[in-house]
């Protein structure tokens, strides 16, 4: 549960947030979806209704793009979750607005691609969006520290998932689009990772606990999406996102970047959490092996 200490920690990292936000602004180049979307492929749906035979990319690639789009569609809920925790904290409020503005382009771009290229059933896509957003979403993070840890992992996971989905399409336009979106997620990831790193330096015990909690219960947002499980398994088998990728590309890198192994001068409780965190990747790799065996995939 969020305590006074969690909110004091937000204030304590204020200067770091400002610095990270300035770095983000100078690093990220804005891009324009209208320059990438293949408008020349667009046709009138009333005169020429959608039919699956019009699709140009594989079913797995289509599932991946649709699920990734529905994840982006949930932006109002991500925004409100962060907003509810940062309160009047000026720097983080400013960040949340900037981040929301940048994120907003992802769904616009991806939906424009799918509708012009006819690589999704437009009726199903809209019904799924409505169902997903009507259900609402909350990550389950209980404190602002947990929210920033969760978002760090989610940005990195989304970066990897978008990039792999783009590769799977075998369509240069989709590839370029997903690479652009993925680059944005990487910039966001760097910001959130930096905030958590500053929190770790300031209050290691609280932050380590939040990292352990969030990594242990991490899930991509999506359970409320229609047919989520079937779609997530399809993406996992296609190598877009699965437990092995989560282990190799998200969990191991974040623990390394945060220097968990090298933290010293910790309280006894913080040391216990540190040990659990360092053991966590092994446990995750074991789960990945079980999934690979069940799904008939080769274990690397
Ligand atoms: Fe995004
Ligand atoms: Fe992002």
Say which CATH number the domain at 194 has: 1.10.620.20
Cα(275) to centroid of ligand 2, in Å? 30
Per-residue confidence band for 216, with pLDDT thresholds at 50, 70 and 90: very high
Write b or e for each residue in 62-100: b if 16 or more Cβ atoms lie within 10 A of its Cβ, otherwise e: bbbbbbbbbbbbbbebbbebbeebbeebebbeebbebbb
Domain-located, residue 296: no
Cα(118) to centroid of ligand 2, in Å? 25
Cα(98) to centroid of ligand 1, in Å? 13
Domain-located, residue 188: yes
Max Cα–Cα distance, the chain, nearest Å:
70
Cα(102) to centroid of ligand 2, in Å? 8
Q: What's the rounded Cα separation, in Å, for the pair 19 and 133? A: 34
Domain-located, residue 248: no
Q: What is the mean pLDDT of the chain?
A: 95
- Of all ligands present, the nearest one to the C-alpha of 162 is 1
Q: What integer is the mean pLDDT of 178-195?
A: 98
Q: What percent of the chain has pLDDT over 90?
A: 89
Domain-located, residue 287: no
Per-residue confidence band for 250, with pLDDT thresholds at 50, 70 and 90: very high
Six token digits for residue 65: 């793009």
- Of all ligands present, the nearest one to the C-alpha of 187 is 2
Domain-located, residue 180: yes
∠ Cα 71 76 77 (to 5°): 75
Cα(264) to centroid of ligand 2, in Å? 32
With 0-12 CB in 10 A as exposed, 13-18 as middle and 19+ as buried, what is 52? exposed
Q: What integer is the mean pLDDT of 261-289?
A: 97
Q: What integer is the mean pLDDT of 80-103?
A: 94
Domain-located, residue 212: yes
Cα(216) to centroid of ligand 2, in Å? 21
Per-residue confidence band for 88, with pLDDT thresholds at 50, 70 and 90: confident
Q: What's the rounded Cα separation, in Å, for the pair 77 and 138? A: 7
Domain-located, residue 272: no
Q: Which domain holds residue 113?
A: 4-29+58-242
- Of all ligands present, the nearest one to the C-alpha of 151 is 2
Question: What is the predicted pLDDT for the residue at 221?
Answer: 82
Question: Comparing 178 with 298, which gets the higher pLDDT?
Answer: 178
Check the CA dihedral 208-210-213-215 and report its sign: negative
Cα(103) to centroid of ligand 1, in Å? 5
- Of all ligands present, the nearest one to the C-alpha of 188 is 2
Question: What is the predicted pLDDT for the residue at 3?
Answer: 84
Cα(281) to centroid of ligand 2, in Å? 24
Q: DSSP for 63-118?
A: HHHHHHHHHHHTHHHHHHHHHHHHTT-HHHHHHHHHHHHHHHHHHHHHHHHHHHHT
Q: What percent of the chain has pLDDT over 70?
A: 100
Cα(103) to centroid of ligand 2, in Å? 6
Count of structural domains, the chain: 1
Domain-located, residue 258: no
**Over the Cα atoms of the chain, what is R_g?**
20
Whether pTM exceeds 0.85: yes
Is residue 211 within 8 Å of residue 278, measured between CB atoms? no
Q: Tell me the per-residue pLDDT of 106-163, one tens digit each, with 9 for 90 and over.
A: 999 999 999 999 999 999 999 999 999 999 999 989 999 999 999 999 999 999 999 9
Query: Scanning the structure block, which residue is given the tokens 């959608």?
Result: 50
Is residue 155 within 8 Å of residue 189, measured between CB atoms? yes
Question: What is the predicted pLDDT for the residue at 1?
Answer: 75
Query: Scanning the structure block, which residue is given the tokens 């945060």?
Result: 258
Question: What is the predicted pLDDT for the residue at 2?
Answer: 79
């Amino acid at each position: 549960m969020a305590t006074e200490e969690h909110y004091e920690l937000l204030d304590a990292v204020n200067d770091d947030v400002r610095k990270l936000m300035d770095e983000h602004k100078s690093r990220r180049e804005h891009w324009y979806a209208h320059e990438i979307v293949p408008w020349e492929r667009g046709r009138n749906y009333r005169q020429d209704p959608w039919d699956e035979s019009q699709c140009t990319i594989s079913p797995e690639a289509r599932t991946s793009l649709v699920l990734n789009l529905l994840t982006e569609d949930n932006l109002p809920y991500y925004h409100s979750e962060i907003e509810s925790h940062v309160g009047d904290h000026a720097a983080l409020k400013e960040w949340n607005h900037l981040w929301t503005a940048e994120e907003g382009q992802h769904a616009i771009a991806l939906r424009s691609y799918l509708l012009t290229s006819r690589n999704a059933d437009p009726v199903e896509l809209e019904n799924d969006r409505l169902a997903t957003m009507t259900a609402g979403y909350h990550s389950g993070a209980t404190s602002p520290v947990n929210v920033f840890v969760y978002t760090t992992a989610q940005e990195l996971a989304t970066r990897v998932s978008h990039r792999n989905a783009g590769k799977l399409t075998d369509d240069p336009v989709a590839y370029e689009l997903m690479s652009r979106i993925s680059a944005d997620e990487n910039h966001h990831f760097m910001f959130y990772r930096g905030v958590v790193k500053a929190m770790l330096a300031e209050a290691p015990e609280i932050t380590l606990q939040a990292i352990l909690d969030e990594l242990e219960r991490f899930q991509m947002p999506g359970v409320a999406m229609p047919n989520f499980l079937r779609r997530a398994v399809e993406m996992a088998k296609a190598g877009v996102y699965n437990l092995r990728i989560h282990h190799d590309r998200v969990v191991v890198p974040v623990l390394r970047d945060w220097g968990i192994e090298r933290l010293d001068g910790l309280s006894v409780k913080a040391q216990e959490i540190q040990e659990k965190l360092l053991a966590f990747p092994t446990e995750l790799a074991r789960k990945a092996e079980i999934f690979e065996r069940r799904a008939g995939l080769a274990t690397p």
